[in-house]
Chains A and B, each alone.
Chain A
Amino acid sequence: MTTSTPAIEDARGQGTGSWLRDNRTLLLLLPTLGLFLAFLLFPYLNMIVMSFRNPSTSQVFAPGYTVFNYFDAIFDEDLYYLEILWDTMVFGVGTTFLCLIIGYPVAYHLARTKSRFQNLLYAFVLSPLLVGVVVRCYGWIIILANQDGLINSTLRKYGIIESFIPLMYNTFGVGLGLVHIFLPFMILPLLGAIQSIDPALEEASQSLGASRTKTMIRVVFPLSLPGVQAGTVLVFVLTISSYVIPILLGGLNVMIMPTLVVQQLLDAMLWPFGAALAFILSVTGGLAVYFYLKFTSHFMKGIA
């Protein structure tokens, strides 16, 4: 970085003299900036507007504006929508927690191993991430399916069970799928954080008499907190906005917000209400992440 700073200033110094050269470098930016303004920022603003539109039975929305989309969702008599929101958050926190306790030892091992298979193990962590989510869910369907899944049919073949164990179309199946699919998103940030900790610190701690466990708890874990923070936020956000996994492994028995939103949009054709639900989910998720970040940053003073 230090070597590049004067050069950047040099390049910019030349630029301020001539408008032409400034405009030439802007050509690098403008296509992407235009794309992002027109097809990302504007559509999101448009979606906020949509959530205040009047509902319609014949079209996707009617002229005029209302706040009742939000009222209907929040003050529903049976608390139907708030309950689904709560379930969504529970899935988010649960998946995040499980991914953290399963992913941490794996990330630590991968960061510190001197095995010549390290690259292969890294590829193992990475490859599920790169295979499409539908394919991975389908793999779980073959294994878990209630009637003829690999587990149930094998157990039945050997007479261990008579009918079947419900492994899918319930919370268990969805939870398993979520943990499996988002685990790499936890391991990778943890890996980066642990790799940046100097192993000499662990040796120092142990040579001063701390046990392995104590070294892990008092030295390694606190220093890896930035990775923990990044990984947990990533997995939480991905979980509360996941659509494919709950649908394929939960069917309609497990209803969480993204499923509900897509149902409102594509099946019920209630776009304003769907948009309002999507915003309630985003605001809740956003607030949860915000307070979590504030809370965890408190423990991270002095690291990185």
Chain B
Amino acid sequence: MTAAVPRIRLGRVVYLGFITLVYVFLLMPLVIVVLASFNSGEFLTFPPEGFSLRWYVSFFDSESFMGSLFYSLKVAIVCTFFSTILGTTVALYVVRFSGRWREHLRLLILLPLLLPEILTAIALLFFYYNFDATMRALGLDMFVGLFRNSMVGLLIGHILITLPFVFLGISSSLYNFDMALEEAARSLGAGRFTTFRRVTLPIIKPGIIAGALLCFIISFDLFSISLLLKGIGVATLPIQLFDYVRWDYDPTAAAVATVSILITLMAIALTEKLVGLRSLRF
């Protein structure tokens, strides 16, 4: 027995060492991006050359980056608004009233998660094009470009992708729901809507908040959908960043990326503070 002790310790050191390395691997690119954004040189070397905010100045001076940042925030906020409302209502229906259609509906709503995002983007691109062609053929010129030349088409893509996340969070808090609470409210004379507002809603609120914040984060970072469905002349932040880093290694992109990480971190911190990180469901 005594001989086995050092061997186990060695195994444990290797095991913990490996796990530490994996965490380093997971976080390294994020840390590096932040370091590069504060580095004064054009290229990051080890050790870094010096501290500078010049890349942030260059970012805030760049009209295309600032424009796409605000566009992304706008899309993410509007998308979160619609996804949360639709996700909550449909989760209520599926869990409470769908009966024998429950599994079919669940599958349909989770479909955007199961289908590759790029494929959904392509399908929507074709569909919007055919929609325009059909409208033109029917002489309904006012509808031409309804989806392709406005934020609507892009938003629909974002809502499709984010809705399953909201749905998952809320339906799981509905499944764990003790129906006796609602029955008690009803038997004490509360109406259907009052019961929902005063009993059901407060209980599923953490699920809704977690779903909404996750929805914001995902929409803000969404790439493939935005690449194919963005209108002409506009870009979301990930698209602008993608175009930039394909041809340029200039650390302005690092400043942009750091701000984007910061926005995500704020949403995560808010989730943790309001409802706890574990309420995020995938």
User: Which residues does A use to contact B, with CB under 8 Å?
Assistant: 1, 3-4, 7-8, 11-12, 15, 25-29, 31-33, 35-36, 39-44, 46-47, 50, 60, 102-103, 105-106, 109, 119, 121-128, 130-143, 145, 148-150, 153-154, 157, 180, 183-184, 188, 212, 237-238, 240-241, 243-244, 247-248, 258, 261-262, 265-266, 271, 274-275, 278, 282
Contact = CB atoms under 8 A, between A and B. Distances in A.
Contacts of B257: 134-135, 138-139
Interface of B: 8, 11, 15-16, 18-19, 22-23, 25-33, 36, 42-46, 86-87, 89-90, 92-94, 96-99, 105, 108-109, 111-112, 114-120, 122-127, 129-130, 156, 159-160, 163, 175, 177-180, 182-183, 217, 220-221, 223-224, 227-228, 238, 241-242, 245-246, 249, 253-254, 257, 260-261, 264-265, 267-268, 272, 277-278, 280, 282
Residue from the set B11, B42, B127, B156 with the largest chain A CB neighbour count within 10 Å: B127
Given A4-B179, A141-B249, A154-B46, A131 B221 contact: yes
Contact of A143 (B15, B29, B117, B159): B29
Contacts of A212: 8, 11
A29 B90 CA distance: 5
A106 B178 CA distance: 35
A109 B217 CA distance: 27
Q: Determine chain A's interface SS by DSSP, over half rule.
A: helix
B106 to A, nearest CB: 12
Given A3-B179, A4-B179, A36-B111, A248 B245 contact: yes
Contacts, number: 251
B274 to A, nearest CB: 15
Contacts of A142: 29, 32-33, 36, 44, 249, 254
Nearest to B4: A211
A182 to B, nearest CB: 11
Residue from the set A41, A42, A134, A154 with the largest chain B CB neighbour count within 10 Å: A134
Nearest to A36: B108
A125 B221 contact: no
A122 B277 contact: yes
Contacts of A243: 118, 223-224, 227
